[in-house]
Amino acid sequence: MATKATDRYRAIRFNDRPIKDVMADPESLLLEPGEITADYEGKSDTRLDEIYPDIADYRIVETDRFIGDADKKLEEEKLWSKTWLLAGFASDLQDKGDWFRFDIGPQSLIIVRSAPGEVSAFFNVCKHRGNELVQGDFGKGFDCFTCIVHSWRFNLKGKNVRVTDRESFAKEVLDQDLDLTPVHVREWNGLIFVSMAKTPIPFEEFYAGVMPMMESYRIDEMYVVKELTVEIPANWKTLMTVFNEAYHAHATHPQAKLMMDDHFYQYDFYPNGHNRNLFPLGMVSQRWPDTKHVNVALAFMLEEAGLKASRYRGDATGVRRAIQQGKRENKPFGIDYDGFTDNQITDDWNPTLFPNVTLNMHPEGILVMRFRPHPTDPEKGFWDNIVLTRRLADGKRPPAYMGVDDDADVTGETRPEREFSPFDNPPSSELLIQDLDNMVTLHRGMKSRGLKHIVLSEQERRIQQFLAELDLYLNDKKAGLA
Binned at pLDDT 50, 70 and 90, residue 283 comes out as: very high
266 and 397 in one domain? yes
Tell whether 184 and 231 lie within a shared domain. no
CATH number at residue 257: 3.90.380.10
Task: Assess whether 99 and 228 both reside in one domain.
Answer: no
Mean pLDDT of 318-335: 96
What is the per-residue pLDDT for 275? 98
In a domain? residue 204? no
pLDDT on residue 423: 82
Angle between helices 319-330 and 296-304 (to 10 degrees): 20
Contact at 8 Å (CB) between 146 and 124?
A: no
Report the distance separating Cα 206 and Cα 211, nearest Å. 10
380 and 300 within one domain: yes
Q: Kindly report the CATH number assigned to the domain that includes residue 89.
A: 2.102.10.10
Band of pLDDT at residue 12, cut at 50, 70 and 90: confident
- Residue 319, classed as helix, strand or coil, is helix
Position 405 pLDDT exceeds 90 = no
Q: Is residue 479 part of a domain?
A: no
Average pLDDT over residues 153-176: 97
Average pLDDT over residues 257-286: 96
Q: Under 8 Å CB-to-CB from 458, ≥6 apart: which residues? A: 24, 25, 26
What domain range includes position 124?
84-196
What pLDDT is attached to residue 45?
Answer: 92
2: pLDDT strictly greater than 60: no
Chain CA centroid to CA 1, Å: 25
Q: Are residues 371 and 446 in the same domain?
A: yes
Is residue 480 a part of any domain in this protein? Answer: no
- The alpha carbon of residue 411 and the mean position of all alpha carbons in its chain are separated, in whole angstroms, by 22
Last residue of a domain, one of 162, 196, 230: 196
Residue range 175-197: mean pLDDT, rounded? 98
Residue 401 in domain: yes
Q: 42 near 212, Cβ under 8 Å? A: no
Report, as an integer, the average pLDDT of 396-411.
86
Of 246, 245, 258, the residue nearest 16 (C-alpha): 258
Q: CB neighbours of 106 closer than 8 A, spacing ≥ 6?
A: 76, 375, 376
206 located within any domain: no
pLDDT of residue 15: 78
Confidence of residue 21 (pLDDT cuts 50, 70, 90): confident
Q: Across residues 323-329, what is the average pLDDT?
A: 97
Residue 407 has pLDDT above 60, yes or no: yes
Q: How far apart are CA 231 and CA 240, in angstroms?
A: 14
Question: Is the domain of 51 the same as that of 189?
Answer: no
Query: What's the pLDDT score for residue 406?
Result: 85
Q: Looking at residues 417-435, what average pLDDT do you find?
A: 82
What is the reported pLDDT for 121? 98
pLDDT higher than threshold 70 for residue 4: no
341 and 447 share a domain?
A: yes
185 and 266, same domain (yes or no): no
Same domain? 254 vs 396: yes
Tell me, what's the pLDDT at 137?
A: 96
Per residue, the 3-state secondary structure of 286-303, as one string, reads CCCCCCCCCCHHHHHHHH
Q: Assess whether pLDDT exceeds 70 at residue 181.
A: yes
Q: Does residue 73 sit in the same domain as residue 93?
A: no
Domain count, the chain: 2
**Domain endpoint, select from 151, 166, 196:** 196
> What average pLDDT score do residues 458-464 get?
96
pLDDT digits (tens, 9 = 90+) for 211-248: 999 999 999 999 999 999 999 999 999 999 998 999 89
pTM score, two decimals? 0.95
Asked whether residue 38 is assigned to any structural domain, the reply reads yes
Phi, psi values for residue 176, rounded to 5°:
-70, 160
pLDDT band at 426; cut points 50, 70, 90: confident
Q: Are 203 and 372 in contact (CB under 8 A)?
A: no
| Rounded Cα gap, residues 347 and 49, in angstroms | 27
Mean of the per-residue pLDDT values for the chain? 94
Q: Give the chain's length.
A: 482
Angle of CA points 151, 152, 158, to nearest 5°: 135
The whole-angstrom separation of Cα 424 and Cα 444 is 15
pLDDT at 482 over 70: no
pLDDT, residue 24, reads 81
Query: 241 and 365 share a domain?
Result: yes
User: Does residue 437 share a domain with residue 375?
Assistant: yes
